[in-house]
Amino acid sequence: MEGSSYASRSYSELAAAASGGGRTLRVIPLRHPLGSLSTSSTSPWWRAVVGRARGMGPLDWAEAALPCVAWTRNYRWKQDLQADLASGITVGVMLVPQAMSYAKLAGLHPIYGLYTGFVPLFIYAIFGSSRQLAVGPVALVSLLVSNVLGGIVNSSSKLYTELAILLAFMVGILECLMGLLRLGWLIRFISHSVISGFTTASAIVIGLSQIKYFLGYNVTRSSKIIPLIESIIAGADEFSWPPFVMGSIFLAILLIMKNTGKSNKRLHFLRVSGPLTAVVLGTIFVKIFHPPAISVVGEIPQGLPRFSIPQGFEHLMSLVPTAVLITGVAILESVGIAKALAAKNGYELDSNKELFGLGIANICGSFFSAYPATGSFSRSAVNHESGAKTGLSGIIMGIIIGGALLFMTPLFTDIPQCALAAIVISAVTGLVDYEEAIFLWAIDKKDFFLWAITFITTLVFGIEIGVLVGVAFSLAFVIHESANPHIAVLGRLPGTTVYRNTLQYPEAYTYNGIVVVRIDAPIYFANISYIKDRLREYELNLPSSNKGLDVGRVYFVILEMSPVTYIDSSAVQALKDLHQEYKARHIQIAIANPNRQVYLLLSRSGIIDLVGAGWCFVRVHDAVQVCLQHVQNSSSNALKLPVQASGVLTDSVSTPKPEQQHQKQHGLFKDLWKAQDSNADAGGEVQPLLRQNLV
């Protein structure tokens, strides 16, 4: 095998001392992975799982099944109870008017918003792993429910309500399955830019869908902005001043209280009490003056929800896309918020357990007339700011909703519709993330394009199309980046043995006849053609070098493989073909710093044998030195190596005539593959490649 005798020599000492007291050239040997494996590292994964399970006691098993056991075991009644009571009451008071508002947004009777904020809260407190997440109805999910169900059946029919409840059951099943199968990682493929563009467009659509309660006339139910605007303009002759004035006043009050509470921590109660203030003021005004132009909520059933089996399974298939979409929103919003709050409060959170807890909450809620529930950003933030310590705060929220259902529903009859609409609009203003678009435009035009395309398609073509287009473009960018990985030509930084991208460090030394290439990605079927094309490009368009003999072409290609985490069979075959092509043109491949798995695969596939074990190195610097050594040994009688001084090769080189130079370069590498063995056996002196103080 070519290079085998050279390998045995290079793994001990590549050369003897140079004439004139030079140093020896040492190369660190690259160990074969099989030689360094221990018994523990090769044990099957299931043994570790079984061992961990055997070490778990009854309480550990209970904690794994019921996350609430984790905080109940260490509950500090004196410190935690007061904080949980305060936060639970605060968010519960905030949830009552919000729940009714979001139910109206979903096209449902306000009572179903209260039902959604009742049973799921208790179930999530038991099975949910977050201690600060506030679960219940949210604006975005309510809009999704309204959008899909409005295209199937009229919102005034009983079937509409049944399908909304069935949707909660389906979402719960999907969330539980994703949690049990540990599939929460799938959502990582959706870019943050897509999420921001989607939520911004959705917030605008939500606001326009609620403006009918301000204008005093009906507006087409749609998730597309053009039909909404056309409907608003078409009904302008029916405009009514009283609801517009009242709704605008409530919206101004809500926004002022919200912003004041955010900016001043001492007044944070204003942010929480805003929705309740609007509802109370509106109800008092209606009860006193009875304005005929102001529409009110109407009668609300009193009492807790009854147990019932979800209905409408014949429409199951038509609800699947929306159930998948709502599940995605739950992962993006709820799990993201829950993780952030867990980090702030100093405990670990498992995304898959969190998904399972949300799923159980939705499944149980569907048996008590709830539509899909998920974590709320605004209420969770208030819950955290109010000092919530455990899931007991969620139980207290549920008790407040239960009390409202039992005793307060007669008071809700005269709540103005415009007050509930103002609550929704005030809540979604925080979702309009135009600052993100400005930031992306300044930082990354590609991400700005993702934001813009998702925003525009969601507004124009609806929520489902917007999400699909955004996700498709997001995945397209991922695939493009993966299929066209970053490849860098490396050079040695002056005075070091560190090799870096020559584009980033133009002062880095490169060597004639040697190209050091770093591939910053796994090598697999999708990108191997691109990588081969780039390598051929480096061979044809020789990068300008500033060190070594002027040999006129590339004779060594060193692959720095430390960033390569994976190689598949297609890449293996392509590397074999590349080796054959290089061998035909007298080009030697060297491999530097592969990780254990990559080196093991290269060894098993025979690539190491093809390239030669002596051409696999721990460091790029070793590979470069060996390549330079071959150049020097093969050309000792033809050309004189330049001498380095002060980090720059300044000594003169005897420059032959062009025809002589061509003949010498041809002779230099013609017998390179044979010369390395004869040089090794000869045991001749090797001149130092680099000055001692520059290595």
* Single residue among 452, 477, 502 that ends a domain in this structure: 477
Of 16-20, 231-235, 385-389, 661-665, the range with the lowest mean pLDDT is: 16-20
Distance between CA atoms of 298 and 116, rounded to whole angstroms?
19
Query: Residue type at 102?
Result: Y
**Domain-embedded: residue 393:** yes
Q: Domain check: are 373 and 285 in the same one?
A: yes
**Domain-embedded: residue 112:** yes
Q: Domain check: are 389 and 517 in the same one?
A: no
**Domain-embedded: residue 67:** no
What's the distance, CA 213 to chain centroid? 38
CB 124 within 8 A of CB 358: yes
**Domain-embedded: residue 580:** yes
- Between CA 678 and CA 688, with CA 684 as vertex, the angle to 5 degrees is 115
Distances (CA, A) of 639 to 23, 118, 471, 635, 685: 22, 87, 60, 6, 16
Q: Domain check: are 289 and 332 in the same one?
A: yes
How many structural domains is the chain composed of? 2
Q: Domain check: are 418 and 507 in the same one?
A: no
Judging by DSSP bridges, how do beta strands 648-649 and 644-645 pair with one another? antiparallel
Average pLDDT over residues 652-667: 41
Look at residue 185 and tell me whether its pLDDT is greater than 90. Answer: no
pLDDT in tens, 396-411: 999 999 999 999 989 8
Look at residue 562 and tell me whether its pLDDT is greater than 80. Answer: yes
Look at residue 371 and tell me whether its pLDDT is greater than 90. Answer: yes
Judging by DSSP bridges, how do beta strands 499-501 and 487-492 pair with one another? antiparallel
Q: Domain check: are 398 and 542 in the same one?
A: no
Q: Domain check: are 453 and 558 in the same one?
A: no
pLDDT bucket at 462, cuts 50 / 70 / 90: confident
Would you state the pLDDT for residue 13?
41
Structure tokens at 290: 């009875």
Q: Domain check: are 434 and 528 in the same one?
A: no
Distance between CA atoms of 624 and 203, rounded to whole angstroms?
58
Judging by DSSP bridges, how do beta strands 648-649 and 556-560 pair with one another? unpaired
**Domain holding 517: CATH number?**
3.30.750.24
How many residues belong to the chain? 695
Between residues 367 and 506, which one has the greater pLDDT?
367
Q: Domain check: are 384 and 440 in the same one?
A: yes
pLDDT bucket at 544, cuts 50 / 70 / 90: low
Would you state the pLDDT for residue 147?
84
Residue 117, φ and ψ in degrees, nearest 5: -95, 15
pLDDT in tens, 587-641: 899 999 998 889 988 988 889 989 888 899 999 999 998 888 877 665 554 433 3
pLDDT bucket at 50, cuts 50 / 70 / 90: low
Mean pLDDT of the chain: 80
Query: Three-class SS of residue 519?
Result: strand
- Tell me the percentage of the chain whose pLDDT exceeds 90: 31
Look at residue 14 and tell me whether its pLDDT is greater than 80. Answer: no
Place of tokens 């056996």: 681
* Single residue among 592, 608, 634 that ends a domain in this structure: 634
Would you state the pLDDT for residue 55?
67
CB 494 within 8 A of CB 509: yes
Q: Domain check: are 528 and 389 in the same one?
A: no
- Tell me the percentage of the chain whose pLDDT exceeds 70: 81
What's the distance, CA 617 to chain centroid? 35
Look at residue 642 and tell me whether its pLDDT is greater than 90. Answer: no
What helix, strand, coil percent values describe the chain, rounded to 5?
65, 5, 30
**Domain-embedded: residue 563:** yes
Q: Domain check: are 408 and 499 in the same one?
A: no
What's the distance, CA 36 to chain centroid? 35
* Single residue among 477, 496, 513 that ends a domain in this structure: 477
Q: Domain check: are 340 and 291 in the same one?
A: yes
Long-range contacts of 584-589 (CB under 8 A, 24+ apart): 586/555, 586/669, 586/670, 586/672, 586/673, 587/539, 587/554, 587/555, 587/556, 587/557, 588/3, 588/555, 588/556, 588/557, 588/615, 588/627, 588/672, 589/557, 589/558, 589/559, 589/615
**Domain-embedded: residue 250:** yes
Average pLDDT over residues 642-653: 33
Look at residue 53 and tell me whether its pLDDT is greater than 70. Answer: no
**Domain-embedded: residue 184:** yes
Between residues 577 and 513, which one has the greater pLDDT?
577
Distance between CA atoms of 517 and 528, rounded to whole angstroms?
14
State the residue range of the domain holding 242: 78-301+315-477
Kindly state the greatest CA–CA separation across the chain. Answer: 111
Place of tokens 């059951």: 169
Would you state the pLDDT for residue 137?
94
pLDDT in tens, 262-321: 888 777 778 878 898 999 999 999 999 888 889 998 888 999 999 999 998 998 898 998
Look at residue 94 and tell me whether its pLDDT is greater than 60. Answer: yes
Q: How far apart are the first and last CA of the chain?
A: 31
Q: Domain check: are 434 and 506 in the same one?
A: no
Look at residue 12 and tell me whether its pLDDT is greater than 60. Answer: no
**Domain-embedded: residue 23:** no
Would you state the pLDDT for residue 663?
46
Distance between CA atoms of 214 and 422, rounded to whole angstroms?
8
Residues paired with residue 136 on neighbouring β-strands, in sequence order: 374
